[in-house]
Chains A and B, each alone.
Chain A
Amino acid sequence: MAIDVAAVRRSLPILDRELDGHRLVYLDSAASSLTPEPVLDAMDRYYRWSRSNVNRGVYPLAEEATDLYEGARTVLAGFLDADPTGVVFTKNATEACNLLAYGYVRAHLGPDDVLLSTVMEHHANLVPFTQAAAAVGAEVRHVPITPDGLLDLDAAAELLADGRVTFAAFVHVSNVLGTINDVPRLTRMVRDANDRAVVHVDGAQAAPHLPVSFRDLGIDSYAITGHKMLGPTGIGALVARPELLERMEPFLTGGDMIRDVTLTGATWNDVPHKFEAGTPMIAEAAGLAAAVGLLEGYGMAAVRAHERELTAQLLDALGTVAGVTVHGPKDVDLRGGAVSFALDGIHPHDVGAMLGSRGVCVRVGHHCTKPLMRCLDVAATTRASSYVYNDVDDLEPLVDGLEAAAAFFAR
């Protein structure tokens, strides 16, 4: 069933705002999505009705809080077709990548190992691993992109050929190019080259927009963040095979993550709790579970179909603006709804300022992908990205704003 955009919009009072007389047009969901009222209600209900800590008290309120928190783990695992035992809640996807970099890469890799990355990674899925590689003396290799903005899998095959790649980290959907990478295929290539290799995927831009089955991807771990999928800020997750978590060292230590503590040492709780030190983000977990409930209600196939159609219309609309060059794949079957582009001769900051003055919210800058910006030979891009509350009526204000920017900054 198609997404009822009008109904989604009714759950978002922020869209009733006017900015200098302009309707708010939010095209920055790749940075952060809007938060529907059912998500706010779930967090509010915890604070107003079930407020207490988790995993400690034996009174009914504390059991409610624990059920909310652990229930969210089960809900998220179900949404991503993963084992709840493998779901570690983190602050965001960045922390999930860091958890893996500290808990696995730094603990298990050495100078003989090679890490595989790509040039299209968000800094969150790059810097923790390049830092870890440097710390253990491992080499890092980067899969390049084709002129269409796809991963160059022929080049990847060459990088894998000597069988030394024991850890791979790459993105599912690019936050700049929109490219949907063929995760199962690249994962098979990595494993065929070395069957001990661990494969990690950054799903921050995929889980909100595509049906995702962790099991079917065939990978070892997957990072997501709540605030890009209708959920609150402050919660994300590392979704992993429990066997991988068992092999990992704790990253943060303290309360909740222990089994026993002496004055000089400690033993660790079972996974995933071993990685969740201290009082966790309980309200945010409740909010994330509500967000997942909304997405499951829409149906992820319907979410994808809606965005595929809207992205096709967005690409068509951008094609009508003189001087626009779109980065990344033009085939909507190969891309998600984040569309980066250049407006000839006009710096993205100036484009963003003009659009912002008309109520159109887009992201301008390097999008935390500086190596990719160098590959594209640009300093920054303008990016419009869509979600379930966007519709074709959001495209005209964007196009009008781009034409206004072109006229205003004409030299």
Chain B
Amino acid sequence: MSMEDLYQEIILDHYRKPKNRAPELADEAVHVHHSNPLCGDEMDLRIRVVDDRLDAVVFDGEGCSISQASASAMTQAAVGRELKDALDLAEDFRRMMHGDDPARPDDLGDGIAFTGVAKFPVRVKCALLGWMALRDAIQTFERGASAHTVTHEE
């Protein structure tokens, strides 16, 4: 296994200088907490919604470089999107992690750099953590709730 296959420079950039990393968000609509107990990754994700669009997405948490960098790239790709569109993009990323070609490579932005993670099954759940938290945050909002906690057991 080559370190370069897994850790693209873009991934390391997001790891070293994460985007939209913050412990709180003004006027947040939803706060979700997701964890991967097997790795100990923890993720807090907060979204602000204006007119059915993601006006702001911030994350905070602890975990390996893949989980933190992927969440950072996710926030950049998600902000400004309609909720339905963001859900569709999260599904595209999930399929990519399971080996499919992404349908929306341009929209995934830096998320496309994580393609190689699909070759490392142990790390797939790390890359997915932020995206699954985003999906859950939107679904929580659509249910009319403001908070949700999820433990990923796989």
Interface contact A379-B65, CB-CB below 8 Å: no
Interface contact B3-A380, CB-CB below 8 Å: no
Using Cβ atoms and an 8 Å threshold, which residues of chain B touch A209? none
CA distance A348 to B2 in the complex (A): 17
Task: Report if B38 contacts A (CB, 8 A).
Answer: yes
A20, A373, A380 — most chain B CB neighbours (10 Å): A380
Task: Report if B6 contacts A (CB, 8 A).
Answer: yes
- As a 0/1 sequence over residues 190 to 222 of chain A, the CB contacts with chain B under 8 angstroms (1 = contact) are 000000000000000000000000000000000
Interface contact B3-A353, CB-CB below 8 Å: yes
Given the known inter-chain contacts A365-B38, A366-B40, A379-B39, please indicate yes or no for A349 contacting B62, CB distance below 8 A: no
Residues in chain B within 8 A of chain A (CB atoms): 1-3, 6-7, 12, 15-16, 37-42, 62-66, 122-123, 126
CA distance A408 to B6 in the complex (A): 13
Interface contact A356-B38, CB-CB below 8 Å: no
Using Cβ atoms and an 8 Å threshold, which residues of chain A touch B38? 365-366
Chain B nearest CB, measured from A112 CB (Å): 34
Choose one: A20, A347, A354, A370; the contact of B63 (CB below 8 Å).
A347
CA distance A281 to B8 in the complex (A): 46
Nearest neighbor of B62 in chain A, beta-carbon distance? A379
What are 15 A-B contacts defined by CB distance under 8 Å?
A: A20-B2, A347-B63, A347-B64, A349-B66, A353-B1, A353-B6, A354-B3, A357-B2, A366-B38, A366-B40, A379-B62, A380-B39, A408-B7, A408-B12, A411-B15
CA distance A8 to B40 in the complex (A): 37
Using Cβ atoms and an 8 Å threshold, which residues of chain B touch A408? 3, 7, 12
Using Cβ atoms and an 8 Å threshold, which residues of chain B touch A256? none
Chain A nearest CB, measured from B59 CB (Å): 16
CA distance A373 to B40 in the complex (A): 10
Nearest neighbor of A354 in chain B, beta-carbon distance? B3
Interface contact A349-B39, CB-CB below 8 Å: yes
CA distance A353 to B123 in the complex (A): 10
Given the known inter-chain contacts A380-B39, A409-B65, A411-B16, please indicate yes or no for A357 contacting B123, CB distance below 8 A: no
CA distance A378 to B39 in the complex (A): 10
Using Cβ atoms and an 8 Å threshold, which residues of chain B touch A356? 1
Chain B nearest CB, measured from A282 CB (Å): 34
CA distance A410 to B123 in the complex (A): 20
Residues in chain A within 8 A of chain B (CB atoms): 20, 347-350, 353-354, 356-357, 365-366, 370, 373, 378-380, 408-411
CA distance A373 to B126 in the complex (A): 19
Interface contacts beyond A354-B3, A409-B65, A411-B16: sample of 19 additional A-B pairs, CB < 8 Å, sorted by A: A20-B2, A347-B63, A348-B64, A349-B39, A349-B122, A349-B126, A350-B64, A350-B65, A350-B66, A353-B1, A353-B6, A357-B1, A378-B40, A379-B39, A379-B40, A379-B42, A379-B63, A408-B3, A409-B12
Interface contact A379-B16, CB-CB below 8 Å: no
CA distance A379 to B3 in the complex (A): 23
Chain B nearest CB, measured from A118 CB (Å): 21
Using Cβ atoms and an 8 Å threshold, which residues of chain B touch A353? 1, 3, 6-7, 123
CA distance A347 to B65 in the complex (A): 7
CA distance A347 to B63 in the complex (A): 6
CA distance A380 to B62 in the complex (A): 12
Chain B nearest CB, measured from A368 CB (Å): 11
CA distance A383 to B1 in the complex (A): 20
CA distance A378 to B62 in the complex (A): 11
Chain B nearest CB, measured from A382 CB (Å): 12
Chain A nearest CB, measured from B101 CB (Å): 25
Using Cβ atoms and an 8 Å threshold, which residues of chain B touch A366? 38, 40
Using Cβ atoms and an 8 Å threshold, which residues of chain A touch B40? 366, 373, 378-380
Using Cβ atoms and an 8 Å threshold, which residues of chain B touch A350? 64-66
Given the known inter-chain contacts A20-B2, A347-B65, A353-B3, please indicate yes or no for A409 contacting B15, CB distance below 8 A: yes
Using Cβ atoms and an 8 Å threshold, which residues of chain B touch A379? 39-42, 62-63
Using Cβ atoms and an 8 Å threshold, which residues of chain B touch A411? 15-16
CA distance A409 to B16 in the complex (A): 8
Nearest neighbor of A346 in chain B, beta-carbon distance? B65
Using Cβ atoms and an 8 Å threshold, which residues of chain B touch A409? 12, 15, 65
Nearest neighbor of A381 in chain B, beta-carbon distance? B40
Using Cβ atoms and an 8 Å threshold, which residues of chain B touch A20? 1-2
CA distance A353 to B39 in the complex (A): 13
Given the known inter-chain contacts A379-B62, A409-B15, A411-B16, please indicate yes or no for A365 contacting B39, CB distance below 8 A: yes
CA distance A97 to B134 in the complex (A): 42
CA distance A379 to B62 in the complex (A): 9
Nearest neighbor of A348 in chain B, beta-carbon distance? B64
CA distance A376 to B13 in the complex (A): 30
Nearest neighbor of A357 in chain B, beta-carbon distance? B3
CA distance A98 to B12 in the complex (A): 45
Chain A nearest CB, measured from B17 CB (Å): 8
